[in-house]
Structure 1
């Protein structure tokens, strides 16, 4: 698969934009899948999210260092000029911070030798490349394509020291792995407001767990994205939905709903990327909602009964159609796993996946 590269630059002048376009085209002609904003007319997700996706998905980000780029990267005035460069710069700085200076992804490039002074401070410690629009720098091209001709000579034999040196225990390197099915901005916009359940009393069809949102349009987008990512069935069981009951002695019908990524699914992803769970810090983002059913038995009880019969169910969002609330049938995702818990059991282990949902519970 071709190396995916994103080229970040400032629209300083028509000449600079043309040189960037020609340079990007030359990279593509040499087998590098280079992406720039000039190839896009109007991304459907909007420019900020488009830029975020490009920075996150690219194997390498080439930062074209010019005076305007440098000035805008160092502009903390809050002015609205050059928001694209400022946004890309903030994304790059955040990832550099997360990489803890172990950076191989972000590569500074210059179009003229005198532009070296415009390399942003966080990138000045890394190798930069002088490029032209007609022909990519050969060393840069080899780096992007993973070609290296550098060879180290073989190591000679180590002469043992006369005195025995106390051995130090090896240090482990920890990696942080972040995975989430939650689009934070979209969930904040949608405002999750409750759950509804669709069950067939005759048990001819599996039940449906429906998510209700104050902003139905944003809720529709949430599940439309989930449907695109996982399809009509969560085959790898990456989605996790849990219901925690017993959260209040005063209101015994109340329960918490916890929705997010599955820890087991995340561990499978780690193995896919050849990372060890024992040497990796896992970070997951989830959503929690408290339900306060007015009657007994609650609709959750009916849902549990239907699930026990089919051992499968579907999730989707609720929409208003012809003045009536109905499941969004286009967004149905079939699932096999659902978790039913008691708060008292969850609180026994602070590492429990659902601990975050009930850690404030005091048994009242």
Structure 2
């Protein structure tokens, strides 16, 4: 844009009052550095009026089309003015040649009701009511190529956010293939005078069960196995809406759950010790649980809970069934202390005390809901 933008004003000669408006408008533009031109400044152009008008339109940076009822009617009546006809045809042709891209022709008017007379090809472009101070100001700065609100310079792009990284740490005492093959079916309590109590896991497939406990003994290395195994008892009362209260196979809630899984606290400690940050840790695991009916009383469970509460520990070991078709009694059981592992603690909590973060929470959800 040149320092003094060249502007040509196209308008309709309709009366002296309107021509004075046009003249004042042009004079004001010129007084503020805009090289505005109108036919009123010319008496007799040497090239003739048609060529003069065309030259003005072609050589100007902007053409201000002063829309009015007279301008509109002269364009659309049979008695069209020759001057207007010539100018309008040039305007239409420019817009047509530019494939409707328009940066040159700007519709203006002096009165609000004149907005309706904007020529059809110019209706989609920004217009200005120059009869108002605000409209004139906006037009002036447009002619100067200055936006009222300047775009700030582009700053630096934000650095990409750090991708949240999680390190999966897998920890479980459960070998799924062996566990499924062993077919865990129940619990058995053994109490001997002067000895720690025994918590026996009853399996149908004793060979597979021995393999499970052989692996556990190797991991424990004759020490307590609490570092990687956790045994949880979840006992009544359960939440009021818990599924066991409506389940016939769970004796309508007369019993308890035993849940076997990893010691999550120790698993996390091992992960952190290996260099994994706590906030980056994703712990994955398997666990298994068994429902135990308790239709008569809970004296064996209560005694086991009492004895282990003293902190003397207990033995966890597999118990085999010789013949699954015969009753579960001592003569039909396989008991071998060579496969027992030492445990310090066992967790007892009611169903109401189980927190959402606890792995054994799973027992309170029906299998198809997990």
TM-score, length basis structure 1: 0.49
TM-score, length basis structure 2: 0.49
Instruction: Point out the structure with max Rg over C-alpha.
Output: 2
